[in-house]
A and B are shown apart, each in its own frame.
Chain A
Amino acid sequence: MPVNYYIFLSVALFCIGIAGVLTRRNAIVIFMCIELMLNAVNILLVAFSKMHHLAGLAADAGSRAGSEGQMFVFFIMVVAAAEVTVGLAIIVMMYRNIHSVDINFLNRLKH
Chain B
Amino acid sequence: MSKLIYLVPLFPLIGFLVNGLGRKALSRSIVSIVGVGSVLASFVVSLLIFLEVKSPGFTPQVITFFDFIKTGKLQIPFAFQVDQLSSLFLLIITGVGTLIHLYSTAYMDEETAPDFARYFAYLNLFIFSMLLLVLGANYVIMFIGWEGVGLCSYLLIGFWFKNDAYNDAAKKAFVMNRIGDLGFLLAVFWMIARFGSTNFADVFAQAPGASAAVLTGITLLLFVGATGKSAQIPLFTWLPDAMAGPTPVSALIHAATMVTAGIYMIARSNVLYNLAPITQNIVAVIGLATALFAATIALKQNDIKKVLAYSTVSQLGYMFLGLGVGAYTGAIFHVMTHAFFKALLFLGAGSVIHAMHHEQDIRNMGGLKKYMPVTHITFLLACLAIAGIPPFSGFFSKDEILTAALLKSPVYYVFGVIGALMTAFYMFRLYALTFQGKFRGTHEQEHHLHESPKAMTIPLIVLAILSVAGGLIGIPEVLMKDAHRLQSFLAPVFAESQPGGETVSHLSHSTELILMFGVVAIILIVIVLAWRKFSNYTKTTETSTGFSSILENKWYVDEVYDAIISKPLRSFSKFLNNVVERLAIDGLVNGVGKAVQYGSRQLRLIQSGQVGSYILIMVVATVLFFIIQLFWKS
B-binding residues in A (CB < 8 A): 18, 21-23, 25, 103-104, 106-111
Contact = CB atoms under 8 A, between A and B. Distances in A.
B607 interface: yes
B616 A110 contact: no
Contact of A107 (B610, B615, B619): B610
Contacts of B615: 21-22
Contacts of B616: 22
Given A22-B612, A22-B615, A110-B609, 13 more contacts: A21-B615, A22-B619, A25-B612, A103-B611, A103-B612, A104-B610, A104-B612, A106-B611, A107-B608, A107-B609, A107-B611, A108-B609, A111-B609
Interface in B610-634: 610-612, 615-616, 619
Contacts of A25: 612
Nearest to A18: B619
Identify whether the interface residues of A are mostly helix, strand, loop, or mixed: helix
Given A18-B619, A22-B619, A110 B612 contact: no
Nearest to A107: B609
Contacts of A107: 608-611
6 contacts: A22-B612, A104-B612, A107-B608, A107-B609, A108-B609, A111-B609
* 5 closest A-B pairs by CB: A110-B609, A107-B609, A22-B616, A103-B611, A21-B615
B606 to A, nearest CB: 12
Contacts of A110: 607-609
Nearest to B616: A22
Interface of B: 607-612, 615-616, 619
A108 B612 CA distance: 14
Contacts of B607: 110
A103 B613 CA distance: 12
B449 to A, nearest CB: 91
A14 B610 CA distance: 22
B163 to A, nearest CB: 66
A23 B615 CA distance: 10
A96 B608 CA distance: 25
A88 to B, nearest CB: 18
B165 to A, nearest CB: 67
Contacts of A22: 612, 615-616, 619
Contacts of A103: 611-612
Nearest to B610: A107
Contacts of A106: 611
B198 to A, nearest CB: 73
A36 to B, nearest CB: 14
Nearest to A103: B611
B570 to A, nearest CB: 57
A18 B620 CA distance: 11
Interface centre among B607, B608, B612, B616 (most CB of A within 10 A): B612
Contacts of A109: 609
B621 to A, nearest CB: 13
A86 to B, nearest CB: 17
Contacts of B610: 104, 107
A21 B610 CA distance: 12
Nearest to A106: B611
Contacts of A104: 610, 612
Contacts of B611: 103, 106-107
A103 B615 CA distance: 13
A107 B608 CA distance: 8
Contacts of B608: 107, 110
A110 B607 CA distance: 8
Contacts of A111: 609
Contacts of B609: 107-111
B607 to A, nearest CB: 7
A87 B616 CA distance: 21
A108 B609 CA distance: 8
A34 B540 CA distance: 111
A23 B613 CA distance: 10
A111 B608 CA distance: 10
A82 to B, nearest CB: 22
A110 B619 CA distance: 21
A60 to B, nearest CB: 34
A91 B151 CA distance: 82
A43 B410 CA distance: 115
A111 B610 CA distance: 12
Contacts of A21: 612, 615
A31 to B, nearest CB: 13
A23 B611 CA distance: 11
B620 to A, nearest CB: 10
A111 B609 CA distance: 9
B624 to A, nearest CB: 14
A25 to B, nearest CB: 8
Contacts of B612: 21-23, 25, 103-104
Nearest to B622: A18
B131 to A, nearest CB: 78
Nearest to B612: A22
Contacts of A18: 619
A65 B134 CA distance: 94
B622 to A, nearest CB: 10
B526 to A, nearest CB: 99
A80 to B, nearest CB: 19
A89 B456 CA distance: 105
